[in-house]
Amino acid sequence: MRTIVVGLGNPILSDDSVGIKVAGLVKQRLAGSVGVDVIEAYAGGLRLMEAIAGYDRAIIVDAVKTGDHAPGTIRKLSPDSLSRTRNTLCTHDGDLPTALALGRDLGLKLPDSVEIIGIEVDEVEQFSEELTGEVAAALPAAVDEVLRRCGMIKP
């Protein structure tokens, strides 16, 4: 069973970097555990689909901005949720569900399970490498959530 953890976002756009920061911390904690790869990604759609092709399971960590939840809220989503969150959309080619459907049509080996951990964010329009307070405070819980899913922490 090969798992890929993808931290998605823009590393220099405030809270949008939260997925990438979570991935970085997960990578440290996993310390080269067999069977789990951790990467950063910067675009959704086709590029994201291409990045997770070949794995059995994908765990995607990304910023979500719905305004319906307090910043720092960790939400457990799936590709089916994306029409609502529009999160892993790369609008130069399409959204993740479309890209996954395309990959399946083309016979690519795609993960049986695509899980999305969405972290509600606040500031995504200001250039900064820092997270805002509530989002930064959610980092440990988000990292634990990923590790739990990877079987590295007991539920």
Partner 1 sequence: MSRITIDPITRLEGHGKIDIFLNEEGDVANAYFQVPELRGFEQFCVGRLAEDMPVITNRICGVCPEAHHMAASKALDALFNADPPLAAKKVRELMYMAFFVTDHTTHFYALGGPDFIIGPDAPPAERNILGVIRKVGLDIGRQVIDCRSRNHHVIKTVGGRSIHPVAGLPGGWSRPITVAERDEIVGVAKQNIDFALFTLKIFDDIVLKNPTYLDMVTSDTYSHQTYYMGLVDGQNRTNFYDGQVRVVGPDGTELVKYHPRDYASHIAERVEPWTYLKYPYLKAVGWKGFVDGADSGVYAASPLSRLNVADNMATPLAQEQFERFYETLGSSRINGRYQPVHFRLATHWARLVELLYAAERMLELAEDPEITSPDLRTKPGAVTGVGIGCVEAPRGTLTHHYEADERGVLTRVNMIVGTTNNYAPMTMSIKKAAEQIITKGKVVEEGMLNRIEMAFRLYDPCLSCATHAAVGKMPLRVNIRDCSGEIIRTVSRG
Q: Which residues in this chain contact partner 1 in the complex, by CB under 8 A? A: 8-13, 16, 41-47, 50, 63, 65, 83, 86-87, 89-95, 98-99, 101-103, 105-108, 124-128
**What are the residues facing 40 on neighbouring strands?**
7
Q: Which is nearer to partner 1, 77 or 150 (CB)?
A: 77
| Closest distance to partner 1 from the beta carbon of 42 (Å) | 3
| Closest distance to partner 1 from the beta carbon of 95 (Å) | 7
| Closest distance to partner 1 from the beta carbon of 148 (Å) | 26
Q: Which is nearer to partner 1, 43 or 139 (CB)?
A: 43
Asked if residue 6 lies in contact with residue 48, where contact means CB atoms within 8 angstroms, the answer is yes
Q: Which is nearer to partner 1, 93 or 144 (CB)?
A: 93
Three-class SS state of 100: helix
CA distances from 30 to 17, 24, 56, 107 (A): 20, 10, 18, 31
| Closest distance to partner 1 from the beta carbon of 124 (Å) | 6
Asked if residue 59 lies in contact with residue 149, where contact means CB atoms within 8 angstroms, the answer is yes
Q: Report the amino acid identity of residue 68.
A: D
